[in-house]
Amino acid sequence: MISIRKATIQDAQRCWDIRNGAILAGCEGFYAAKDLAIWTRGSLTPQFTRVVAEDFYVAELEGNVVATAMLDLPHAQLEALFVAPGYMGLGVGKRLLAFMEHRAWSLGLTRLRLESTLNAAAFYRRRGYGGDGMEEASVYRSPRGIVLDCVVMHKELKPDSCSGPAPEPER
Report the CATH number at residue 95. 3.40.630.30
In a domain, 161, yes or no: no
Q: 140 or 66, which is more confident? A: 66
In a domain, 33, yes or no: yes
Predicted pLDDT at 135: 56
Beta-bridge partner residues of 33: none
- What confidence tens digit (pLDDT) does each residue in 106-165 have? 999 999 999 999 999 999 999 999 965 555 677 777 777 888 899 999 999 987 666 554
> In total, how many domains does the chain have?
1
Q: What is the pTM of this model?
A: 0.89
Q: 169 or 3, which is more confident? A: 3
In a domain, 16, yes or no: yes
Confidence check: pLDDT of 168 > 80: no
In a domain, 170, yes or no: no
- Segments forming the whole domain that contains residue 87: 2-156
Report which residue type is found at 155.
K
In a domain, 47, yes or no: yes
Q: 44 or 143, which is more confident? A: 44
- Contact criterion met (CB below 8 Å) for 58 and 170: no
- Contact criterion met (CB below 8 Å) for 102 and 166: yes
In a domain, 171, yes or no: no
Cα–Cα dist 163/159, whole Å: 10
CA dihedral sign of residues 87, 18, 67, 143: negative
In a domain, 165, yes or no: no
In a domain, 95, yes or no: yes
- What confidence tens digit (pLDDT) does each residue in 135-149 have? 567 777 777 788 889
Confidence check: pLDDT of 170 > 80: no
| Mean pLDDT computed over every residue of the chain | 90
